[in-house]
Amino acid sequence: MKNRSNLPLLLIFAFLYLLLNWYVISGLHVYTENPLLSLGFWLIISLVTLSLVYAIKRIGSHGMDAFFKFATHAFLMLISVELIFIAALLPGDVYRLFTHGQRNLYWVTFATLLAIFTLIIIVYGMVKGKYAYRIISHKLYFKDLPESFDGFKITQISDVHAGSFNNRKAIQRGIDLIKAQESDLFVFTGDLVNNKANEIIPWISYFSQIRAPFGQFSILGNHDYGDYVKWDSQANKEANLRSLKQYHAELGYRLLLDEHVEITKNGEKIILAGVENWGLGFGERGDLNKALKNVEAKDFKILLSHDPTHWEAQVKKHPLHIHLTLSGHTHGMQFGLEAFGIKWSPVKYRYAHWAGIKQENNKYLNINRGFGFLGFSGRIGIWPEITVITLNKLRPAQ
C-alpha cells in the first residue's frame, strides 16, 4: 500500500524531471540541430539518473559508499547546472512570447556561461572549499568575569564528521591552524563521526595533536549516537557509543556528559559544563539541570551544547545565568553567501540564527559553522571554521 501511495508522487516527479530536461535541450538546440547533441544529452541524463536510482536501491546493503556519493553528487551537479541555465533562459523566453521573436543566441550563450560558472563553483567547493579553513575571532566582554580570566582564549571546533574526510594533508593544515592559535582552552562541540565510532580511527593521530594549557573538552552531537544507521542489534549500537566515548579519551578530550568541571586560575574559577545532545527534532537527551548541579549563581558559566535550539528552548531561560553557550550542528548548510555585508544560507529557514555570535540579556550564543562536512562533499560560501573566543573583563569605562 505504501508503494502504491507513493506512485502518483513519483510520476509527477518524473514528469517534471523530463519537462526540465526537455526545456534545457530545447535551449541548447539554438547552437545546432545536430541529432548527436540530443543523443549525447539524453545519454548523460539517463546514465546519471539510473546511477542515482541504483545507488538509492542498494543503500540498504552497501550504505552511503563511494558509488552512492558519486551518483548523488553527479545528480546534484546536473540539477544545479540545469536550474541555473533555466533561470537565465526563462526571462528571455517570456519576453519573446510577447514579441513573437526567435530565441536569441546571445541570451542562450549568457545562460550557458552562467551554468558553466555554477559548475566551476560546485567543483571548487568539492575539491578546495571543504578544506578552506578560516579563523573567526570574537572578543566578548563580561562584568562578572573573574579577573584572572581577563584575556582568556578559547578555541572551538564542531562537527568534525570524520567519516567524510579524504585528504590527510588538508586535515593536518586545519590542525596546524588550531595549534597556532595557542589558546588557553580547547573545546569540541559534537558530531565527531557521521554514524560509526570507527570513522575517527584514521584521524586520531591528527586530532590528538591538539593541546591547551587548561585542557581539551568535548561533548556528543546527534550523529554520535548512531541513530542514522541500521544496527544488527541494540547491543551493537550501545557498544558503538561506548567505543566512541573511548576514542574521545584517546584523543585526549575530556567528554562532558551532563556534567561540569571547574577551570581554575590564580585561585579563581569558571564553570565549564557540557550536556548530551539536546535538539528539537534531533533527540532531547541532555539534562541541563544535572550538568549544573551544585553550581552557584555567582559562578561564571560556559556551556557546551551541540544543537543551538537548546539555547532557545532552555538555556537562555534557565534560572542560573549561563554567560556563554558554544554550539554547532547547522554547518551553515555548507552553502551560502557571507560577503559584502550579506549573510545568507538556506539554513536560515530552519534556524533564524545559524552561525556566529548572538546576544540576548547579556547571554551569548556562538554557533560554529563546522570543521567538517556531511552529505554534500563540499562547501560553497560557508567555509569550515575554527572559532577563537577571547573573554574580557568589562571595565567601568567600557
Helix then strand then coil, % of the chain, to nearest 5: 45, 20, 35
pTM for this prediction: 0.90
Tell me how far apart the alpha carbons of residues 280 and 170 are, in angstroms, rounded to a whole number: 33
Is the C-alpha dihedral spanning 247, 250, 251, 252 positive or negative?
Answer: positive
Supply the pLDDT for residue 68.
Answer: 86
Contact 114, 88 (CB under 8 A): yes
- Residue 130 gets which letter from DSSP? G
Tell me how far apart the alpha carbons of residues 278 and 349 are, in angstroms, rounded to a whole number: 20
Supply the pLDDT for residue 69.
Answer: 87
Mean pLDDT of 269-273: 98
Residue 306 has pLDDT above 60, yes or no: yes
Under the banding of pLDDT at 50, 70 and 90, the label for residue 6 is confident
Contact 257, 276 (CB under 8 A): yes
One-letter amino acid of 231? W
Which of 315, 295, 292, 297 shows the shortest CA–CA distance to 305? 315
Grid coordinates representing 198? 570507527
- In angstroms, what CA-CA distances link 91 with 85, 105, 111, 112, 196? 11, 14, 10, 14, 48
SS3 268: strand
Select the more confidently predicted residue: 71 or 59: 71
Mean pLDDT of 248-271: 98
Under the banding of pLDDT at 50, 70 and 90, the label for residue 3 is low
Q: What is the pLDDT of residues 116-174, one digit of tens each?
A: 999 999 999 999 999 999 999 999 999 999 999 999 999 999 999 999 999 999 999 99
Tell me how far apart the alpha carbons of residues 115 and 144 are, in angstroms, rounded to a whole number: 54
Mean pLDDT of 46-57: 92
- Residue 77 gets which letter from DSSP? H
- β-pairing, 385-393 vs 152-157, is antiparallel
Tell me how far apart the alpha carbons of residues 222 and 104 are, in angstroms, rounded to a whole number: 51
Residue 299 has pLDDT above 90, yes or no: yes
Supply the pLDDT for residue 4.
Answer: 56
Helices (H), the chain: 2-28, 35-57, 59-62, 66-99, 105-127, 168-180, 204-207, 234-251, 288-291, 309-313
